Amino acid sequence: MSSTTNLAHEEHPLSAGSILTLTQMGMVAFLVSEVAFFSTLIVAYLTFLGKDTIGPTPLEALSLPTAIVSSVFLLASSGTIYLAEKQLHLGSLRGFQGWWTLTFLLGATFLAATAYEWSELIRVHQLTISRNLFGSTYYTLIGFHALHVSCGLVAMLAILFLSFRGDVKSEPGGGAELVSWYWHFVDCVWIVVFCIVYLWGR
Amino acid sequence: MAIAEQRRTDYQRQVVAASGWTAILHDWTTTVDHKKIGILYVLMSLVFLVIGGCEAILMRSQLLFPRYDFLPPDTFNQLFTMHGTTMVFFVGMPILIGVGNYLVPLMIGARDMAFPRMNALGFWATLFGGLLVYSSYATGGAPAIGWFAYAPLTERTFARTAATDLWALGLLVSGIGTLTAGINFIVTILGMRCPGMTLRKIPFFAWTMLWTSVQILLAIPPLTAALVMVLLDRNLGAHFFDTQNGGSAYLWQHLFWFFGHPEVYILVLPAFGMISEIIPVFSRKVLFGYEFMAAATAAIAFISMGVWSHHMFTVGMSKTLDLYFAAASLLVSIPTGIKFFNWLATMYGGKIRFASPMLFAFGFLSMFLIGGLTGIMLAIAPFNFQLSDSYFVVGHFHWVLIGGTLFGLFAGLHYWYPKVTGRMLSERMAQWQFWLLLIGFILTFGPMHISGILGMPRRIYTYEPDRGWEVWNQITTLGAAIQVPSYALFVINIVWSYFKGPLAGDDPWNAWTLEWATTSPPPAYNFEQILVVKSRRPLWDLKHPDDPDWNYE
Ligand code: HEM
Ligand SMILES: [Cu+2]
């Protein structure tokens, strides 16, 4: 019996012909579902774009410069997380931790910029979620993006913590890699959101 | 056989003697074993089936006589809301996911699902979601919005109590559970097949679970987003579906049915898969046209993502949209037809055994065919204009849901019960259950088509005596009453046979897929060694080394 129970704890062998590891596949599947989720929010945003009769319109309320600055921070963080992974790959835990921390800081700055943007919208333009359709759809879409950024930041902290215990390795399907995939995804969503909300929809 | 028997009793003795009830409870609540989680899913769904069935019986009692006042109208609204919600979200989906959970790793020769802890999370999220929805009764009444929750009925103005919030939250939470299950199935099936089992050799049930999971991935998140919007409308004053302030009831319908239509395929594809396992074994022939069946499954999954607005013909879309959605809906019948003919071809010339799984498979074939035909009728827009939201529709979708999903499920549950428990079900009880279900089902939902054509709208709590609907409603209620003992018999059968049924052995049906290669019930680690597979029927190869399948595939 004991020999067979041992077997039960063995790793699952991967199917022949699998290009991705199990965790990589899981992350891809999860991100596909996230695409469906964000597409729905974007559809709702576009449905109501320009349908308001009261309250501020996107053109009146949204500040393009703020959005551009915050976008720069977020897009830069995709670059730094790539560099962090590269350092890990080269075997430099120090280098990894440095770039990883910088990524975290860039993401946090983006979040702070969003907070600043929202406070301006509420203070200056009285735009709240209940003000009009633009408010409802804008805060929902941007809010869910910000929520995803926050989750990414928490995950980054966890990985950072693990890396100080020496538990982070460069491996396919490892934690650092998965977080970076997720992070790139969140950035891509932002590019789409930026184009629709801040450029095209104004 | 003797070894399996020994193992089984050892196991039972261990569980009962060495541990006591709290230990068993602890064992089951903390389990991450795919088989136990599968059983938990199935048991939970059966409890909800009983609850949803009671709600149906209450509704049918109220409709027994015209102008009857057994139930107040508001209670009736709550009942059909809870009945529909329960049956779709807490019976249909979880029971299929449960069966999939139990079987998929066994069928593909794996030791567990890819993410066992996430698997447990999925189950508990589903259960918790169900409890949230039902907790609305404690706040003074269930939601009365229909399972489709049409806007603006769900806005604060029309639904003032917390019930609607609990409903939305419950579906949101259970939706997350469903999503994790979908991800888990995809990764398990793509990444954990045993050596030799290429995607062209996986058992058909695993194949359908794969596509159901793809649909889960694409259809559940939009529902989640829509539920979030409802919650924001109700609790923070957003205006998505608030038609007084520019919100759109039309958008809700699009979002809901973009989920709602694929949902019916999420419910029926796994049933297709079970049938595709059972018919070959009980006809003693290989599944006819495996490749065509596989392609048809993929085609159904794809096409069905693009037909959602056939639920909205009467909303007044444009003529172009009506045309497109009618055509696309009719298109789904082509791959479905392919499957049908393949099942028939599998049976053709076979040595058919009429054991209970096969009986239910026959029930599935004949009933699902009829449901599919009324579906084609409804997909024709002008016909739909006449009968939308009439009892014809209620007749149609129950015919598909029960004739398809439920018959398929019962076929599967009867087929795999010996694997799960090591005991055979009582064949006599099973046959009684089948005939009662078949007759009751036809009597319940057949006349609904007629009352629908006679103009009876759905979701009405009573009707006038002069419409000619009376007799049809009475037959319907009679049919529902005949179904009750059928479900009861099933429950009695699974409990009784668990203790008293004859021992099954590893492979009582002389079947061909890998789950029958291990003991019944399988040990925690499923297989002692990693198996190697060379054809679609590994157990046939094992039993007929002189004439293995791979010579022909
Ligand atoms: C035991 C047999 C059943 C009976 C007698 C029954 C009866 C009913 C009745 C009377 C309604 C209300 C129709 C209306 O007023 O519009 C209804 C609605 C519904 N039922 Fe069933 N039902 C049964 C089983 C099922 C099953 C197994 C499922 C799904 C797997 C299901 C899914 C639904 C759905 C989705 C609705 C729509 C709810 C709505 O219109 O809000 N039912 N059923
Ligand atoms: Cu549909």
Which distant-in-sequence residues (6+ apart) come within 8 Å of A64 by Cβ?
Answer: A198, A202
Output the pLDDT for position A4.
37
Per-residue model confidence as pLDDT tens digits over B213-257: 999 999 999 999 999 999 999 999 999 999 999 999 999 999 999
Q: Which chain B residues are within 8 Å of A36, Cβ to Cβ? A: 217-222
Backbone angles phi, psi at B390, to 5 degrees: -105, 175
Task: Verify whether the Cβ–Cβ distance A37 to B225 is below 8 Å.
Answer: yes
User: Which residue in B115, B184, B524 is closest to A8 by CB distance?
Assistant: B524
Please tell me which residue of chain B has the smallest CA distance to A29. Answer: B183
Task: Verify whether the Cβ–Cβ distance A36 to B193 is below 8 Å.
Answer: no
Output the pLDDT for position A166.
86
Q: Which of residues 113-152 of A touch B (CB under 8 A)?
A: 129-130, 132-133, 135-137, 139-140, 144
Q: What is the mean pLDDT of residues B163-167?
A: 97
Task: Tell whether A26 lies on the interface with B, counting CB pairs under 8 A.
Answer: yes
Task: Verify whether the Cβ–Cβ distance A53 to B111 is below 8 Å.
Answer: no
Output the pLDDT for position B8.
58
Per-residue model confidence as pLDDT tens digits over B395-445: 999 999 999 999 999 999 999 999 999 999 999 999 999 999 999 999 999
Question: CA-CA distance, B514 to B538, in Å (whole number)?
Answer: 7
Ligand 1 atom with minimal separation from the B461 CA: 15
Torsion of CA B504, B507, B510, B511, to 10 degrees: 130
Q: How far is CA A23 from the centre of its chain?
A: 18
Binned at pLDDT 50, 70 and 90, residue B111 comes out as very high
Question: CA-CA distance, B223 to B522, in Å (whole number)?
Answer: 37
Comparing CA positions, the residue from B248, B198, B197, B203 lying closest to residue B226 is B248
Question: CA-CA distance, A128 to A122, in Å (whole number)?
Answer: 6
Q: Which chain B residues are within 8 Å of A16, Cβ to Cβ? A: 195
Per-residue model confidence as pLDDT tens digits over B44-56: 999 999 999 999 9
Mutate to test the interface with B, among A25, A31, A49, A128 (most CBs of B within 10 A): A25
Which amino acid is residue A190, in one-letter code? W
Judge contact between B502 and B483, C-beta under 8 A. no
Ligand 1 atom with minimal separation from the B484 CA: 1
What Cα–Cα distance (Å) separates residue B349 from each residue in B142, B292, B294, B474? Answer: 53, 20, 22, 42
Ligand 1 site, residue B147, Cβ cutoff 6 A: yes
Ligand 1 site, residue B35, Cβ cutoff 6 A: no
Ligand 1 site, residue B56, Cβ cutoff 6 A: yes
Query: What residue owns the CA closest to ligand 1's atom 28?
Result: B87
Provide the percentage of residues in chain B whose pLDDT is more than 70. 97
Comparing CA positions, the residue from B445, B436, B435 lying closest to residue B402 is B445
Question: CA-CA distance, B216 to B265, in Å (whole number)?
Answer: 10
Ligand 1 site, residue B264, Cβ cutoff 6 A: no
Question: CA-CA distance, B221 to A43, in Å (whole number)?
Answer: 13
Ligand 1 site, residue B395, Cβ cutoff 6 A: no
Per-residue model confidence as pLDDT tens digits over B22-45: 888 999 999 999 999 999 999 999
Ligand 1 site, residue B402, Cβ cutoff 6 A: yes
Question: CA-CA distance, B122 to B248, in Å (whole number)?
Answer: 33
CA of B175 relative to ligand 2 center, distance in Å: 19
Binned at pLDDT 50, 70 and 90, residue B5 comes out as low
Query: What residue owns the CA closest to ligand 1's atom 26?
Result: B87
Look up the ipTM and state it. Answer: 0.93
Ligand 1 site, residue B317, Cβ cutoff 6 A: no
Judge contact between A10 and B192, C-beta under 8 A. no
Output the pLDDT for position B10.
58
Per-residue model confidence as pLDDT tens digits over B454-469: 999 999 999 999 999 9
The residues that bridge with B457 in the sheet, in sequence order, are B390
Provide the percentage of residues in chain A whose pLDDT is more than 90. 85
Task: Tell whether A10 lies on the interface with B, counting CB pairs under 8 A.
Answer: yes
Q: Which of B264, B394, B438, B441 to mutate to test the pocket of ligand 1 (most atoms within 8 A of CB)?
A: B394
- Residue count (chain A): 202
Which amino acid is residue B42, in one-letter code? V
Please tell me which residue of chain B has the smallest CA distance to A8. Answer: B525
Per-residue model confidence as pLDDT tens digits over B58-87: 999 999 999 999 999 999 999 999 999 999
Judge contact between B206 and B185, C-beta under 8 A. no
Output the pLDDT for position A2.
31
Backbone angles phi, psi at B503, to 5 degrees: -65, 145
Output the pLDDT for position A5.
36
CA of B101 relative to ligand 1 center, distance in Å: 26
Per-residue model confidence as pLDDT tens digits over A28-76: 999 999 999 999 999 999 999 999 989 899 999 999 999 999 999 999 9
Output the pLDDT for position A18.
82
Question: CA-CA distance, B10 to B13, in Å (whole number)?
Answer: 5
Helix (H, G, I), strand (E, B) or coil at B503: strand
CA of B196 relative to ligand 2 center, distance in Å: 38
Lowest mean pLDDT among A145-154, B2-11, B341-350, B425-434: B2-11
Query: What residue owns the CA closest to ligand 1's atom 37?
Result: B84
User: Which residue in B179, B229, B528 is closest to A140 by CB distance?
Assistant: B229
The radius of gyration computed from the CA coordinates of chain A, to the nearest angstrom, equals: 21
Domains of chain A, first to last? 22-51+59-200 (1.20.120.80)
Which amino acid is residue B549, in one-letter code? D
Question: CA-CA distance, A139 to B244, in Å (whole number)?
Answer: 20
Go through B159-193 and write b for each residue having 16 or more CB atoms within 10 A of its CB, e for each that does not.
Answer: beebbbbbbbbbbbbbbbbbbbbbbbbbbbbbbbb
Please tell me which residue of chain A has the smallest CA distance to B216. Answer: A33
User: Which residue in A12, A25, A129 is closest to B236 by CB distance?
Assistant: A129
Question: CA-CA distance, A32 to A24, in Å (whole number)?
Answer: 12
Ligand 1 atom with minimal separation from the B394 CA: 13
Judge contact between B254 and B309, C-beta under 8 A. yes
Task: Verify whether the Cβ–Cβ distance A29 to B182 is below 8 Å.
Answer: yes
Instruction: Tell me the H-state helices in B380-515.
Output: 381-387, 391-400, 407-421, 427-453, 470-500
Please tell me which residue of chain A has the smallest CA distance to B226. Answer: A40
Answer whether residue B485 shows pLDDT above 90.
yes
Nearest CA of chain B to the CA of A133: how many Å? 6
Output the pLDDT for position B474.
97
Task: Give the Cβ contact number of residue A165 at 10 Å.
Answer: 7
Q: Which chain B residues are within 8 Å of A40, Cβ to Cβ? A: 221-222, 225-226, 255
Binned at pLDDT 50, 70 and 90, residue B298 comes out as very high
Provide the percentage of residues in chain B whose pLDDT is more than 90. 91
Binned at pLDDT 50, 70 and 90, residue B15 comes out as low
Output the pLDDT for position A1.
30
Helix (H, G, I), strand (E, B) or coil at B115: coil
Answer whether residue B4 shows pLDDT above 60.
no
End-to-end CA distance of chain A: 69
Per-residue model confidence as pLDDT tens digits over B511-530: 999 999 999 999 999 998 88
Which amino acid is residue B495, in one-letter code? V
Please tell me which residue of chain A has the smallest CA distance to B215. Answer: A33
Across chain A, mean pLDDT equals: 92
Ligand 1 atom with minimal separation from the B458 CA: 16
Binned at pLDDT 50, 70 and 90, residue A6 comes out as very low
Q: Is B462 left (phi over 0), alpha (psi -120 to 50) or beta?
A: beta
Output the pLDDT for position B6.
60
